[in-house]
Chains A and B, each alone.
Chain A
């Protein structure tokens, strides 16, 4: 089975531009979460989606938005990019909404550089 796949793997954008990051969860996983990992820090929670509905949101500005599609894949959108948005964006999937003891399965991430 394929793992969590993210695209693109690397991206360079200019300040003020818009970016869309994509994630396909493991087959059968209905929950997708997005995390931002700035260099030298641990991942920070952005969003969780389950069954196409937003279940949780972290402390990020409204420039960040996401959605989940009927096939459970997901997009993370960031508008009006700032230099501080440069980071590794990680997508994680799991089987359940509450997740409980489920460890996430992460993708390899999208490295976004804003110049």
Chain B
């Protein structure tokens, strides 16, 4: 069975500082993809970053980077230079790529508060 665990219900960060949001996962699928999404109060889920299980390098997208440690089954999101607009819910998600890839599993989320 696949599972995503996000152990931080809420996080505070000072504006312009970096913050790490934790994510661990469990899967028996040998090939999988890991995703992070942002959900502002408006409700829309916004895709941030993707990491494939066979990718050798950690993914980066602007101020977002994914700290992928395969042996530890962790896929932490690092947001650098936090901005007030980063305040939102953040979800870690996973999709098995060998099982038809039709189902994405989401964690419970971490609410990030950016302080001015």
* CB < 8 Å neighbour of B91 from A43, A98, A109: A43
CB distance from B27 to the nearest CB of A (A): 15
B57 to chain A: closest CB distance in Å? Answer: 14
B102–A106 touching, CB < 8 Å:
no
Q: Which of B50, B97, B106, B109 contacts A103 (CB 8 A)?
A: B50
Contacts of A24 in B (CB 8 A): none
A-contact 0/1 string along B14-25, CB 8 Å cutoff: 000000000000
Q: How large is the interface on B (under 10, 10 to 19, 20 to 34, 35 or more residues)?
A: 20 to 34
Question: Does A105 reach chain B (CB closer than 8 Å)?
Answer: yes
Given the complex of chains A and B, what is the CA–CA distance between A104 and B37 in angstroms? 9
Extra contacts besides A33-B104, A90-B45, A109-B43 (13): CB < 8 Å: A40-B108, A42-B4, A42-B106, A42-B108, A43-B106, A45-B103, A55-B102, A56-B103, A97-B100, A98-B101, A99-B102, A99-B104, A103-B37
Which chain A residues have a beta carbon within 8 Å of chain B's beta carbons?
33, 35, 40-45, 48, 50, 55-56, 58, 88, 90, 92, 97-101, 103-109, 111
